[in-house]
Amino acid sequence: MAARTKSAVKAKAITPLTKRKAWKALGIHYKKIAKVHLRKLFGDDPKRGERLTLEAAGIFLDYSKHRINDQTIKLLLQLADESRLRERIDAMFSGEKINITEKRAVLHVALRAPKGSSIVVDGENVVPGVHAVLDKMASFCDRVRSGAWKGHTGKRIRNIINIGIGGSDLGPVMAYEALKQYSERALTFRFVSNVDGTDFAEAVRDVDPAETLWIVSSKTFTTLETMTNAHTARDWTLKGLGGDEKSIAKHFVAVSTNAAEVTKFGIDTANMFEFWDWVGGRYSMDSAIGLSTMLAIGPDNFRAMLSGFHQMDEHFRTAPFQQNLPVLMGLLSIWYGDFFGAQTSGVFPYEQYLKRFPAYLQQLTMESNGKHVTLDGTHVNCQTGAIYWGEPGTNGQHSFYQLIHQGTELIPCDFIAFAQALNPVGRHHDMLLANVFAQAEALAFGKTPEQVKKEGTPDWLVPHRVFEGNRPSNTIIMDKLTPEALGKLVALYEHSVFTQGTIWHIDSFDQWGVELGKVLAQRIIPEIESATEPKLAHDSSTNSLIRRYRKLRKISS
Ligand code: G6Q
């Protein structure tokens, strides 16, 4: 292990992306296929819609509505091989320090590894530790959910508020919303992330401190927003409970890797749920960061979610690339971003419970692959991470879909749907599914001027009513949104992100891009709060914005 660790901090040399044979071949191939319409591709192959599909681990993917043919797939798979994807997958799963800029292993897959398996980091099998924390979380959750855990005044806990931001918030919020149907409805869950005091104020306006449990979720336990909110929550709790410091132990728990800071804050480490530096923030919803999720859905459902993650991990690790869902989805993203120049990618879950899924994916994809240098530190010479965005269907159809259908941007879309409704109401679910199929069909095949004319449209109006089509999409269908299904879906995207990062030869697991703003804010805070007029040495714009704010603001009491 030690030898592997040593070599892993330096990236293994690889032929630059644009010099790889498959890349060059894809460039030539692109010129031919770019002009081919999906109408023709489907016309030439009546079985295309059945052939270009893949089913694994309970996920069905229809990728027939992509601007590809068999040669495209062959070349993309060749690109994966030339990019040493297999080797990189093995390196990640075996605990190599593939996050080279932070010298860390990348082992979210260990968080869902079954008891008894072994993944070694720095000479230690990390799996038993993962299960010890899961067991500790389960016993805590059972106590809170049953009412055995009492607040300081003896009242049972009815409100649970998670404080965290970024990876310590987006996963928990998304999972809570996604799995609400499975949640304990007698408990109220809230999530405070923003340093904007409104987030805190709205979360506490109608809850009783005596019945409120705070989870301070922070890997580092130093994040400005989280620690500011945590201290405000602490003051609010003490004020509401008569100022007794002992109350903190009953109303605060922590999820962190930083025991020293947790203790300093006043939380007993017995009430701290640990995770590790080999879990990236945006890959942590299945670690102790998911404590709020487990409190909401219960330990059994949480374990079912982990099993879903693990099933997709195993599929990704072992399936041949041509039958590998995340690999295929990742390669198709490369195809559009780097050859068609598509800058964004839309994600549209036709499932109301997944309303926060696009926001969650934004961090997963954009923080991971929004990078401008390769692992060797040289500037990339291709487009990396696309901008991910989306809203649940059918709402988006009545808003921004216009641009996807008739705008000038090519936006590959992921449509996600479930066969079973969680709330079967009349014909609603059939209508929902009819809409998702219709959108993918309309995007792919559009409507020709001839078709529009045939409908009796006056000539002047025809161009406005033409849909060019040839807009690509994935359709993902799963049986039902369950905790297990959610785990599979998240892992699918995690590994698709990894596939893309491997092709680009970038570090998908660091996030230096969020540092600079944080540092500058720390410099500006004292300048804003200074009682006397501070000497400012920023650019003229920043200087004058600070001065204007100092003049206009009202000092809060
Ligand atoms: C995620 C990022 C980032 C992080 C937050 C919160 O991959 O690292 O979003 O999760 O900045 O950090 P803490 O958990 O340390 O408070």
Q: What is the average pLDDT value for the chain, to the nearest integer?
A: 96
User: How far, in Å, CA of 468 to CA of 447, rounded?
Assistant: 6
Cβ neighbours of 51 (radius 10 Å) = 10
CA–centroid distance, 164 to ligand 1, in Å, is 8
Tell me the pLDDT tens digit for each residue of 214-239. Answer: 999 999 999 999 999 999 999 999 99
Cβ of 367 less than 6 Å from ligand 1:
yes
* Structure token digits, residue 175: 């999972």
- CA neighbor of 193 nearest in space, from 213, 217, 211, 175: 217
User: Of the residues 173, 220, 265, 291, which should be mutated to test ligand 1's pocket, given the most ligand atoms within 8 Å of the CB?
Assistant: 220
Cβ of 220 less than 6 Å from ligand 1:
yes
Cβ of 58 less than 6 Å from ligand 1:
no
User: Of the residues 191, 231, 282, which should be mutated to test ligand 1's pocket, given the most ligand atoms within 8 Å of the CB?
Assistant: 282
Q: What percent of the chain has pLDDT over 70?
A: 98
Cβ neighbours of 108 (radius 10 Å) = 23
3-state secondary structure of 370: coil
In the predicted structure, residue 556 carries a pLDDT above the cut 70: no
Tell me the pLDDT tens digit for each residue of 361-404. Answer: 999 999 999 999 999 999 999 999 999 999 999 999 999 999 99
Contacts for 14 with CB less than 8 Å, ≥ 6 apart = 83, 84, 505
Q: Which residues are annotated as catalytic?
A: 367, 398, 518
CA–centroid distance, 15 to ligand 1, in Å, is 33
- Kindly report which listed range (92-101, 343-352, 403-412, 513-522) carries the lowest average pLDDT score: 513-522
Angle at Cα 263 formed by Cα 261 and Cα 267, nearest 5°? 115
State how beta strands 272-274 and 252-256 pair.
Answer: parallel
User: How far, in Å, CA of 163 to CA of 141, rounded?
Assistant: 17
Rg (CA), the chain: 25
- Kindly report which listed range (2-16, 74-88, 180-194, 282-296) carries the lowest average pLDDT score: 2-16
* Structure token digits, residue 465: 């009513």
* Structure token digits, residue 527: 């300048």
What is the reported pLDDT for 1? Answer: 34
Angle at Cα 361 formed by Cα 354 and Cα 81, nearest 5°? 125
CB 255 within 8 Å of CB 218: yes
Cβ of 365 less than 6 Å from ligand 1:
no
User: How far, in Å, CA of 201 to CA of 158, rounded?
Assistant: 18
What is the reported pLDDT for 9? Answer: 55
pTM for the model stands at: 0.96
Cβ of 396 less than 6 Å from ligand 1:
no
The amino acid present at 352, given as its one-letter code, is: Q
CA–centroid distance, 227 to ligand 1, in Å, is 12
Cβ of 165 less than 6 Å from ligand 1:
yes
- CA neighbor of 287 nearest in space, from 149, 157, 126, 145: 126
Cβ of 258 less than 6 Å from ligand 1:
no
* Structure token digits, residue 291: 């404590």
The amino acid present at 413, given as its one-letter code, is: C
Phi, psi (5° rounding) for residue 191? -135, 120
User: Of the residues 514, 518, 519, which should be mutated to test ligand 1's pocket, given the most ligand atoms within 8 Å of the CB?
Assistant: 514
What is the reported pLDDT for 13? Answer: 87
- CA neighbor of 510 nearest in space, from 373, 381, 378: 373
CB 284 within 8 Å of CB 168: yes
CA–centroid distance, 544 to ligand 1, in Å, is 31
| Residue 59 Ramachandran class (φ > 0 left, ψ -120 to 50 alpha, else beta) | beta
What is the reported pLDDT for 186? Answer: 98
User: How far, in Å, CA of 56 to CA of 315, rounded?
Assistant: 7
